[in-house]
Amino acid sequence: MASKGYLRFSQAFAGLCFTGVCLCGMLLFYTKLAFLILAYFLLFSIVVVVLCASSSAVRNKLEDGLGTLPKLMSSLGFLITFSFIVVDHLYLEPVGVLVSVVSLLLSRQLFSKAANVLKDTAELYQQQGMLRALFFHAHVFLPEKKASGFAGLVEKAGREKWMLESLGAVMDTQQVRFSSRWVSLGAPELLCFVADVVSSDGSERQILFKIFDTSRSSQALHEASLLTQQRGLPAPAFLGATTVAGMNCHLFEVTGYKMFVPDDESSWPDTLVDFRAQSLAWVPAPVLVSSYLRSRLQLVGRLNVQSLDYLRHLYEGDCDLEPLDRLRELLPAIASMLGELPLAFQLPDIRPGMLWLDAEGDLRLLHWARWELEPVGFKWPQTAQVIEPALTLLKTRRNEISELSLNKALLAALCSGFEENYRKGSYDKAYRLVLAILPVYAECRRGEV
């Protein structure tokens, strides 16, 4: 950082000196052109200042970076200079041809150096906090945290306005009374309100507004793709999506809903297990599967020989390497077998506050920003005794997996466990799972014969 900062400073200083020398030379030999260039610099600066003062969008864009502004200044300045020299020779009192040619070449270099000075100075200004802390020990670097866009949305005075605008963007409604309250779904960088809307005909509705921070825009799109392409989910009616202050906003019908509160803390894990077990019975829509596979990497794609080679280097001389070599040879066949398994929904991040009860008392999930499609058996328990009753129950709910063998589900569970432990750095557990995968795969092959 220090060397780059010093390099930018030296380049900016050298460019500034070069620009000054060129202008001084032009003042002596081509005074009109020198004054034109100075006037251009002044006028360009005034235009930029006026635009920043009158437009917050321009000001915010320049605060994030100059972008192509230096290049625009350089190109436009050289065009004006070239045009002036041509006009001067055709219609005015020109200087010598040699002076004009040299001035044209110098002006090209001058504008190029001036653009570099502008870029280097802007970068130095953006990093001034870090550079001061590096070169001046009395200064402490305290990076400024960018304020969340939620700050302007939570004020009660202006909240009703953007809520009504969002509601009007997704549905036609005529309300006479409107009130809202904040609710927490337990997810970070997510702002939620429930609005009580009373229409002109006296009907009452409750609408959930979910606003995703800009850093969570991908999650918003992920949720919207699921809710618009998959039917029959235990979710509130999805009214539509819009934007509020540049952030994604999803609207749901939650009339008669109330937050699920377990009887005691110990019952929450059981509720979560039951809900996730029900999710395995949902059959993914073909259009959803197609779009998901185009944009996401499944377990089959995450299993690779590089991980096995890495473990081989780690355990060389300490453990038997033959299982790793054997799994490396069989990995394409195992991946092919896993790729033929039916897909099931995975919901890895369900937190207290996300599950609500509808008017009939059924559980509904209000936050679908994190969902996955993985082979049946993904992240299941890694023992056949535990898997067998769960698989038997699932077969009664999904006809398409009635022929799925226990060993194939166990193979998916072991492979997902291997991938997860390797990713987390638990290499001993990953190695032990390699020893378990090989006999299970052999049983799967025998079952196919």
Instruction: Give the separation between CA 289 and CA 369, rounded to whole angstroms.
Output: 16
167, part of any domain: yes
Same domain (yes/no): 230, 307: no
User: What contacts 149, CB < 8 A, 6 or more positions away?
Assistant: 213, 214, 245, 246, 247
**Is 375 found in the same domain as 246?**
no
Same domain, 127 and 160: no
Residues 232 and 173 placed together within one structural domain of the fold: yes
Domain-located, residue 361: no
CATH code for the domain of 217: 3.30.200.20
Last residue of a domain, one of 253, 275, 296: 253
Structure tokens at 285: 């829509």
The conformation of residue 372, written as its DSSP 8-state character, comes to: E
- What are the percentages of helix, strand and coil residues in the chain, rounded to 5? 60, 15, 25
Structural domain contains residue 58: yes
User: Residue 141 domain-assigned?
Assistant: no
Element (H, E) at 220: helix 217-229
| 88/183 same-domain check | no
Residues 291 and 393 reside in one and the same domain:
yes
Whole-angstrom distance, CA of residue 344 vs CA of residue 342? 7
* Contact (CB, 8 A) for 145 and 165: no
Same domain flag for 280 and 417: yes
Counted domains in the chain: 3
Instruction: Decide if 358 is inside a domain.
Output: no
Tell me the pairing of strands 258-259 and 355-357. Answer: antiparallel
Task: For residue 149, tell me if it sits in a domain.
Answer: no
377 and 298 part of one domain = yes
Q: Does 84 lie in the same domain as 28?
A: yes
Task: Retrieve residue 296's tokens.
Answer: 């996401």
284 and 429 inside one domain:
yes
Q: Which residues touch 124 (CB under 8 Å, ≥6 apart)?
A: 5, 8, 9, 12, 131
Question: Which bin fits 389, alpha (ψ -120 to 50), beta or left (φ > 0)?
Answer: alpha
Q: How many CA atoms lie within 13 A of 139 on its CB side?
A: 12
Instruction: Clarify whether residues 19 and 127 are in a common domain.
Output: yes
Q: In the structure encoding, which two tokens stand for residue 438, read together?
A: 């090989």
Select from 224, 253, 282 the last residue of a domain.
Answer: 253
Instruction: For the chain, 449 residues long, give each residue's pLDDT as a single digit of tens.
Output: 566 766 777 777 888 888 888 888 888 888 888 888 888 889 988 988 888 888 777 777 776 677 788 888 888 888 888 888 888 888 877 778 888 888 888 888 888 888 888 887 777 766 666 656 566 656 555 555 555 567 778 887 778 888 888 888 887 766 667 888 999 998 888 999 999 988 877 788 899 999 999 889 999 999 999 999 999 899 999 999 999 888 999 999 999 999 998 877 778 888 888 898 888 889 999 999 999 998 888 899 999 999 999 999 999 888 889 999 999 999 999 999 999 999 999 998 899 899 999 999 999 999 999 999 999 999 998 898 989 988 998 888 888 888 889 999 999 999 999 999 999 999 999 999 999 999 999 999 887 64
Residues in the chain: 449
Amino acid at 359: A
Which structural domain, as residue segments, surrounds residue 198?
156-253
- Is 146 domain-assigned? no
Q: Are residues 80 and 27 in the same domain?
A: yes
Residue that finishes a domain, picked among 228, 253, 278:
253
Q: Determine whether 40 is exposed, middle or buried from the number of CB atoms within 10 Å of its CB (0-12, 13-18, 19+).
A: middle
pTM listed for this prediction: 0.67
